[in-house]
Every structure is written in structure tokens, then in C-alpha cells.
Amino acid sequence: MARHNGRGWHGRVLAAALGVTAVATAASVWTAQADPSGGGDAAGRPAASAAGTPGVRGGGAAKVAVTIAHASDRGERGVNITIDDGPDPTWTPQVLQVLREYGVKATFCMVGPQAKAHPDLVKAVVAAGHRLCDHTVSHDTAMDHKSEAYQSQQILDAERMITEASGGVRPMYYRAPGGAFTPYSRSLAAAHGMRPLGWNVDSKDFERPGAAAIVATVKQEIANGPTVLFHDAGGDRSQTVAALREVLPWLKQQGYSFGFPVR
């Protein structure tokens, strides 16, 4: 999600730091263009066997690029729907229902404790053919100013929580809260088979401006690139659900197809 004052709605979660103590890494510059190769084939699959692929039960880390992905595995007319901050017992099922109605697969960027609290929803996301993304433990939008040990704890603890909640399916991407990537966090995520994931279009649904405003934002900004940011947690997401019901068929009418971010 975009930055929303401090640590976001999840607040700070205290945990033991992993790795050696290091000084805070400076905030990284947002990568303007994704690496179109993504370390995978034309369908966005990494060049590795299923036994070593995140997103496959029991898989290990596959080789992925460290650059921040924005492109779609469906090419220039592809769109990546990404859903952040859940899962949530009220809104995630409704989002899943809308996606099912329109035959759309999405990438769900989950916060570790949310996944741990709702493993049934994580499993439902996987069973429906969607992909998982690590969105840290505490949703700390200032983590790019924290130590490498802190960043490691946030990323790897969330990865473990999501993987356990899913029944063994690992996240394929890592999205820093508020885009707070660092060179260290990108490298760490990639080393664990999670491609850093950005966005091109912030629907602003988190601010609840009304479904019509959310739809208008997506329509106006989709020319900026294929990866669109929505949310299924963090408050009342009824406007998001309503907006998706209008945005998804409109995108199809414009000749877009739905895919996943490149890996």
C-alpha cells in the first residue's frame, strides 16, 4: 500500500531481530521500469523446477531478479491486480468472490500476523489460483530507515507465517509497506525467491474516497503501467469491492487481459 502516516494501521510488532546488527540502510530509489526478463519465461514462471519454486507446495527459493517488478507476464496489454494488507475475514471473501465472477487471478500481499490469524483465508486464496506476496510483519512504512536486522525480521518472519498459514505454499513476491524498499531488503527477498513488487497505479482505495473515485483513478492512470494496487483490509473495504465490480469488466472491454507480475 502507499504510505499512510508512520507504521500504518497494523502498528509495531515486537520480535527478536535476525542476523547481525547493522546501521539503517538508506531508502532506495523506486525503479522506474521492471526487468522484463524477470528471470523467468514468457509466462512469468521462473527458470527452475517446481521443486524449487515459491508458490508450489514444499518448494524452495527460485532465482528471481532483485529489481522492483512492475510489468505483467501477459505483456503490454496485461494487468496485474494486487490486493494488500489482508487477509481479512470480512473483506477477503468478498474480494475473492468478485475475482471469481470475472475470472481474474490476483496477487495478495499479506501481512504476516493477518495470515497467521486466518489460515483458512490464505488457503482459499491459494486454492483459487491466486499468488501470495510477503507484506512484512508490522507494515512499517518507515522500515527503509531501520537496521538490516530489523528488515530481515520483518520480511522473513512474515514469509514463515504466510507459508505456514498456506499449508506450505511460499510467497512469490515481496512488497515493502509504502514502497519502503532498500537495496538490502530487495536482495534479501530475492535470495528467498520473492521478487520485489511495486505498483504503477495506486487506486487510493485505502482513503475510501468513494467507489466512483476509485474507478476513475484506475481508468485515468492505467496508462502508467499494469500493476494496480487495492486493499482487502485496514478498515471498511466495501468501496473497494464495489469498485472492482466496475473496474474488472471495464478493463476487459478495453482489451486488457489479467496476469501476474513478472518474476
Residues assigned a catalytic role: 84, 231
Going by C-alpha positions, the residue among 209, 179, 228, 152 that lies closest to residue 8 is: 179
| Alpha-carbon distance values, 126 to 18, 56, 81, 120, 138 (Å) | 28, 10, 15, 10, 23
* 3-state secondary structure at position 78: strand
Instruction: Classify burial at 63, counting beta carbons within 10 Å of its beta carbon; exposed 0-12, middle 13-18, buried 19 or more.
Output: middle
> Which runs of consecutive H residues, i.e. helices, occur in the chain?
91-101, 112-117, 119-127, 148-166, 183-191, 211-221, 238-253
